[in-house]
Structure 1
Amino acid sequence: MRKFLITSVLVCLALVTLSAQNKWTATWATAVERPFSASDMPKTSLSDNSLRQIIHVSIGGKKLRLQLSNEMSEQPVEIKSVYIADAGKGEAIDVSTATYLTFNGSRSVTIEPGKAVYTDAAAYKLKPLQCLSVTIHYGQTPPKATTHRGSRTTSFLMEGESKPKAAFAAVEKFEHWYNIAALEVEAPASTRCIACLGNSITDGRGTTTDMQNRWTDIMAEALGGRVAVINLGIGGNSVVSGGISAPACERFNRDILSQQGVTDVIIFQGVNDIGGIKDDGARTSRMLTKFYRLFAKKCREKGIQVYGGTITPFKNSSYYSAVHEQVRQTVNQWIRTSEYYDGCIDFDKATSDPKDQEALREEWQADWLHPNAAGYKAMGEYAAKAFLEFQKK
């Protein structure tokens, strides 16, 4: 009897030790926001209907949980059920992988305004770099949902309840996400997780819809699906003020520091602040570097490595003037030489035209402000290489 008890205790201790060696780590996440215009909401109501959304993960795992957010809405959102499955082409799924997620053992949950909830942990063979389908059957929903406008993937809305084995008959398609905020996996404690703060260049404007070719996707692929890379970019967003959605100085704690398992942060934001200046730009330079220092300090206090991304060229775009370019150069020089950062990811040098360093390479630009798919590929591969070099130091 005593031998049995000792064995049982040792088994329990082994399980506790095993659990302590793992941590919840975000493999995908997005920055939630309020709808900016009427076009940011579906024409068909989400209420009593089913929404299928596609996300591209970075690392894999055998156990996961999903975070759903109602943080940007003023009324509750009623979730009747959520199931996940390996995504196929378009709205298709691999039915054999369909798995319902629960909330404290129930398939349904009501999320109060201003709140976010997690599903229970679920066993699932999530593969690195795969696309995952998330299907939500809604009850009553707010007229303005918590969203992310720039999903760069197609979402599918059908009337009524969707069940895994039945055809998904979409009545509307759009490129927005609703309510999904993060997907986390149980990963070894040593797993690196990079949270990327940015604007539309990080969010992926200029990429190819449904091709998952943002620079962060490319970075995750270049790192072999062994490092989590999560994209917290928002199109039109600023660091200080004047952009779309809450500026980075207000959303940094929620969108970056609250993510699970983060070990590294890339701060790559500021072009919209510079593009909006109406004076000599001295104040904008001071404010940007002030908040870069604050962000870095917050990361350091949590034991997080922090890297600065230089602001990419924008000559030939509406943002360009001699004054705007001088501010960009001033800010980039600070990023390159700052003692507050653990390293610099020099996107400026990586993407500029060797013959005119104030402009993007012509073959890599979409509109002279945003890169195209080829430009994002170059950025992602460069960022992965730089990150690996940092890890050697």
Structure 2
Amino acid sequence: MQSGSTGFEQQTLRQVVHTSIGGDQVRVRLSNQFGAAPLAVTGIGLAQPTGGAGIDVSTARAVTFSGNNSVTVPAGEEAVSDALSLTVAADTDLTISMYLPAATGAPTEHVLANRANYAATGSQIADAGLRDSKSTSAYYFLSGLDVHNTAASGAVVAFGASVTDGLGSKSGTNQRWPDLLSDRLRASGRTIGVLNTGMSSNRLLSDGPGGESAIRRFDRDVLDRPGVRWVIISDEPANDLGNDSSTRADALTGGLAELVERGHDAGIKVICSTLTQASGASYWSTAAETGRAAYNAFVRGGTSGCDAVLDLDAATQDPSSPTRLKPSFDSGDHLHPNTAGMKAIADAVDLSWFD
């Protein structure tokens, strides 16, 4: 989650989430992390989507918080719903509806939903469709869906920036590389939740347009997530280098080493990623490329402390020009892999890391 700008008042939100594993109970997480005032939410519901802003009302279930159908989330905090007994399938979409009765102020949001969500005036929680709805490409106040499954081995967090967030993959198709990794895990017979906490424009060391730095948000977006046993630390340092090519490689490797130590202290296996290519991208430079090479060498070396290495660089590079994305993987901006590139990243994950 990150800080937004335009808020809501007396509006219904319908937002679609995609499961990795299935289970027999779910919980909804609401966040007012960056709000300046308490957030009032009423009439929270969960249902199967029918396309667009529509839901199958026969599947609609009320979501409660401490037994109530409304909740007020204090500024700077998160609220977790009661567990709802519900058989939910793996690899499926669910629609979460909520009514915001009072002015929210600047929202807590996730800018890139990589799918269409919807907002409409008035309370339309129980309606099959939304009258006069407008689509949005973000998530608002919704920070997660917990799925309970006694057979699950745990969860892996994909922790990164825009490549992890799915920018460049086809919208609405759930083909970000963490989605495709989830597909592979499920096909292999493993029951492991995949939590995507990628955030476009995020940086490792400093706050910026992509929200709080990876260093600052690591506890909230990795360590505090339920069931986490693994984390894949991915692509944030590319934004440190691209936005400030004077960023020292040793500062980036020091930041990574800190995250590795914090993960290990929490009993989590830490998988580190090399950085994909960016030559030809609008914000890239020779100095940034030098920094990328140094960072990748550290990740591949024996002193990083990482438990395993996901070599994104090797998986996506152009063999004839190793500092560039393979043309068939390039979404067009020479920075973000397309859907085929996302598949190459997911396929580079060694599933034995999760045994």
1:277 and 2:244 are equivalent in the alignment = yes
The aligned residue for residue 186 of structure 2 is: 224
Alignment of structure 1 residues 1-393 onto 2, 5 Å: 32-35=1-4, 41=6, 46-188=8-150, 191-224=153-186, 226-241=191-206, 243-244=208-209, 245-268=211-234, 269-279=236-246, 281=247, 284-339=248-303, 340-366=305-331, 367-383=333-349, 386=350, 388-391=351-354
What amino acid is the match of 1:33? Answer: Q
Please tell me whether the aligned partners of residues 156 and 170 of structure 1 are also in contact (alpha carbons under 8 angstroms).
no
What per-residue deviation string (whole Å, max 9, x for no partner) do you get for residues 25-69 of structure 1? xxxxxxx1101xx5xx3xxx6211111001111111111111101
1:320-378 per-residue CA deviation (whole Å, 9 max, x = no partner) reads: 33322121111001111244111000010000011111110111111101111211122
Opposite residue 271 of structure 2, the aligned amino acid is Y
CA distance in 2 between partners of 1:165 and 1:321 (Å): 52
2-side partners of 1:166 and 1:390: how far apart? Answer: 43
- Partner AA of 1:138 in structure 2: L
Unaligned ranges ≥5, structure 1: 1-31
- Between the aligned partners of 1:128 and 1:325, the Cα distance in structure 2 is 40
The Cα of 1:189 is off from its aligned counterpart by: 6.9
Total equivalences in the alignment: 348
How far did 1:253 drift?
1.1
| 2:270/2:307 contact within 8 Å kept | yes
TM-score (norm 1): 0.85
Distance in 1, matches of 2:137 and 2:80, equals 24
Q: TM-score, normalised by structure 2?
A: 0.94
C-alpha separation between the residues in 2 aligned to 1:213 and 1:131?
13
State the Cα deviation string for residues 167-215 of structure 1 (Å, max 9, x = none): 3224311101111111112222752311111111111111222111111
Superposed displacement of residue 242, structure 1: 5.6
Percent identity (aligned): 29
Distance 1:354 1:163 in 2: 52
Look up the SS of the partner of 2:197 in the other structure. strand
Question: Contact conserved, 1:147 with 1:178, CA < 8 A, in 2?
Answer: yes
Task: Pick the structure with greater CA Rg.
Answer: 1
Q: In the superposition, relative to structure 1, how do residues 242 and 82 fare at CA in structure 2: closer, same or farther (>3 Å)?
A: closer
SS at match of 2:26: strand
Superimposed CA distance per residue, residues 98-139 of structure 1 (whole angstroms, 9 cap, x where no aligned partner)? 111011111011111111111111011111010110000111
Question: Where do 4+ consecutive residues of structure 1 move more than 6 Å?
Answer: none
Contact 1:309–1:346 (Cα < 8 Å) also in 2: yes
C-alpha distance in structure 1 between counterparts of 2:79 and 2:257, whole Å = 31
What is the identity, as a one-letter code, of the residue corresponding to 1:277? D
User: Contact between 1:57 and 1:130, CA under 8 Å: does it hold in 2?
Assistant: yes
Q: Let me know the Cα RMSD of the aligned residues.
A: 1.6
Q: 1:128 to 1:116 in 2, by over 3 A?
A: same
Task: Mark the runs of 5 or more structure 2 residues left unpaired by the alignment.
Answer: none
1:233 alignment partner, SS class? coil
Q: Check conservation: 1:77, 1:139, Cα contact below 8 A.
A: no
Conserved 8 A contact 2:57-2:128: no
Deviations, residues 278-337 of structure 1 (Å, cap 9, x unaligned): 43x5xx211111111111111111111000011000111123333221211110011112
Q: 1: CA distance between counterparts of 2:175 and 2:258?
A: 31
Aligned 8 A contact 2:55 2:129 in 1: no
| SS across alignment from 2:218 | helix
* C-alpha distance in 1 between matches for 2:309 and 2:245: 28
